[in-house]
Structure 1
Amino acid sequence: MTATPITSALTPDQVARRIDTLTVIDVRTPGEYASGHLPQALNIPLDDLRAALPDLKAAADRGDLLIVCASGNRSAQACATLAAEGLGAATLTGGTTEWARLGYALDRPEGGRAVWAMERQVRLAAGSMVLAGLLAGRRWGGARWVSAGIAGGLVFSAVTNTCGMAQVLSRLPHNRARACDLNTARDALRAPGAPVE
């Protein structure tokens, strides 16, 4: 019997009580996922979500989907994408950051290497580019336009609740899903009860 779809936000406490009844999808980059994820979470990066729609639909037919990321922003985007496809899903309020802050355990893959959260990567990239533009602008005035462009991009990002820089950074090799990892997650969505590594 199919569970009633959920389209809402769940607190970490609510998720902890229901974790065994949810299919948890982590939409962060593989590097972020390796730094710690909710128990039993499958990694389907936000950029790969559309490719996994048939598998997500199969999982949703068996029960409720919970979409998580670091803070809740990317998971909200993923929930909107799924809702447009007729799939209900919940997002974890505060993401894995709030989950860990409240003392809930995070799983880490063996041999996985931790990568900074995407928000931190964006802050480093944006700050470095602004600083470089300002320093270079002391010698070449036009270089200050780099800083102005980044500042404008950050304002646009805040107003539209999107982040073009995060989309670019997510394509770096350390943030990309290996095909075998993505296929493993998709296989687990198709096969209920399959062990997740």
Structure 2
Amino acid sequence: MGLTDRGSGASRTGEPRSGASRTRTGFGVAAAGVAVVAAAAVVFLALGTWRRFVRTTAPALLGWPGAPWVVGAALGLLTVIGATYLLRFTAPTSAPASPSTSDSGATPSKPVVGIAAAASAVAAFGPLMYVLAALPGRNCPAYRQGCEHIDGTWSALAAYVISAVALAALLRRRHTTRAEARRAEERERLRRLRKRGGCKSRAAHRS
């Protein structure tokens, strides 16, 4: 009887615990769903606000003669420069030191590096998002408000791609040239060390 009572008591106490755990799991799933929905709403609201901003400013920015090519080229250069600094600041080795801090040997703090990386990300992706948002939408008819065709958008996109690819190729070539020069200097340094070591070994052998 005692064992039976004890077992039944354990089962009775286990039921509320399992019910409480299921309740906590349900609340956790519901909270995660609400967070996902809220995040999606914020993203869609931000994208809509950004598109309205672009559709409002792009006609005035691209309305001048030759402006689409100039604006597109400038945005392409800004994207490549921003991406270059973003890769530099997010490199796993170490944060780059500025000229003022390189002499003293100090390195920027993590908040400074984070702010610089965030600014570089904005400079890298902002121009691309601006150019893409100025293009007519696929499922957005021209007669609807906010879907009007903006003159010069395709020219701006072409200039953006050309300037970005050209600058990226130049920076890549510069990086490759510097890397080859560093490898050549390293090979020369090792050759001198081996030559110096050989001279010392021959001198020791003669003595």
When the two structures are superposed, what TM-score results if normalisation uses the length of structure 2? 0.24
TM-score w.r.t. length of structure 1: 0.25
Which protein is richer in strand relative to its size? 1
> Computing the radius of gyration over CA atoms, which structure comes out larger, 1 or 2?
2
